[in-house]
Amino acid sequence: MTMGRDELPPLPGGDVAEGADRAFFGRRKGKRLRAVQEQRIAELLPSLRVALPPEGARLDPAGLFPVPVDEVWLEIGFGGGEHLAAQAKAHPRVGIIGAEPFVNGVAKLLREVDDGDLRNVRVWDEDATALLAAIPDDALSRVYLLYPDPWPKRRQRKRRFVSDEALREIARVLKPGGVFRFASDIDDYAGWTLVRAARCPGLDWTAASANDWRRAWPDWPGTRYEAKALIAGRAPTYLEFRRVAVD
């Protein structure tokens, strides 16, 4: 089924310069951490942190985990970690790498990992673009980008994580048939993403009807950001793209 143009989220043009040299995240730390959070950052995070290989070398994603995993997923900007932790609990044979530079968000995920003894989680607490560059081709089964900072002002939009370059990298690291899932409560960002995904030859939007982007995925546990959006009256958009062969 082909969706009608009036059913699609708005599609803004690519009139803002998008360069590789851009900081897509804002502050690195919020309110002061509690003592137990500081302790987890000091004692637990080092054992979970991904160590990048020397420049020019690539990671072995499955080898990052101390338990056998059948596939590896990546969540870019995991926020408070509730989605990542829920997926890790539901899929113990999946290794999940979470990228998040915000210290308070990392501290929240570490609590989930500690309390749930989640051995299939690894953390990258720096710029996700460096991590992506170190991942081999065709290595991941899923990549998530959920409620990223929308950078709504026109002059800020070049700081959005989604760009032509970032989507090419996401397509590169996905296995054939792997999926990239994006969620946002900002219509402009959903349209922005659709425009750039449409010109990425390795990604194919899977939606067959409007409900496919209006409704969350079947295994979606929800997040605090989604709850805030719904309370504020903003309808989320859920986009899924599949990795396809490029001629």
Q: Which residues are catalytic?
A: 149
Cβ-Cβ contacts under 8 Å for 50 (sequence gap 6 or more): 59, 64, 97, 122, 123, 124, 131
Backbone angles phi, psi at 96, to 5 degrees: -120, 125
For 179, the token pair is: 């999926």
Full DSSP string of 87-151: HHHH-TTEEEEEE---HHHHHHHHHHHHHHT-TTEEEE-S-HHHHHHHSPTT-EEEEEEES----
Helical (H) or strand (E) element with 173: helix 164-173
Q: How far is CA 140 from CA 21, 44, 127, 147, 175, in A?
A: 25, 25, 18, 21, 6
Q: Identify the DSSP state of 216.
A: -
Q: Please give the Cα distance from 188 to 180 (Å, whole number).
A: 19
